[in-house]
Structure 1
Amino acid sequence: MQSVLHLVSGDESEQETTLTIAKNLLEDESGDIDDVAVVAQAGGIEAITSDGGFTEEVESLAENGASFKACANTLEMEGIDESELLGNAETVPEGAVEVTRLENEGYAYMRP
């Protein structure tokens, strides 16, 4: 199974919940989870930047197999440089399009 978490909220508690869910999915002992992707856009992009307050969590998730995808439109609108992204985040042209693409590939969609 594959899961995509859509990180769009600027609310810190929602960001923390999203990252915790990603961690729980990766730590699932059933062995059913093959991939966890976190797509960040809008206010959620802050959580995966060096100024976002979740550096340790994001880096740990990346080390444990989560992939992070950052919306290029959001980065441009917010004036955030790609060098500020954590977790070896890949920049994608548009976050919602990436979520849709992953869903079409069989990823289960989650938005805490």
Structure 2
Amino acid sequence: MLQIFSILLEDSCQVNNGGCDSNAACSHDASTNIVVCSCKNGYVNSGTDSLIKCTGMSLKGHHIRMLEDVFELLDACQVNNGGCDSNATCSHDASTNGVVCSCKNGFVNTGSGTSVK
């Protein structure tokens, strides 16, 4: 008697995005059961080939937002006050274009560089 077995491999991407980063698209090769993680538009791999970690792209004090194939350069101070405390003013260092947080009147730096009281 000849018995034929058929094994159905589950699409690994359907469970926890296949183990891919939340900013990555998961694709699944059903014949090999291999998961491939690819960073979504606007994100780059900041990890390794085997451990994909997708982070937003930035350019010296600016964030980049992708609209299809168009890149829009955004001032980092316009996004979440550049990471500065709400009682601080965000500006850019002229030599590095890095974000500089300065305490508003009546507030002092608590030592973290971004937090003021």
Question: Which TM-score band (shorter chain)?
Answer: under 0.3
TM-score under structure 1 length normalisation:
0.19
- Structure of larger gyration radius: 2
Which has the bigger relative contact order, CA under 8 A and spacing at least 6? 1
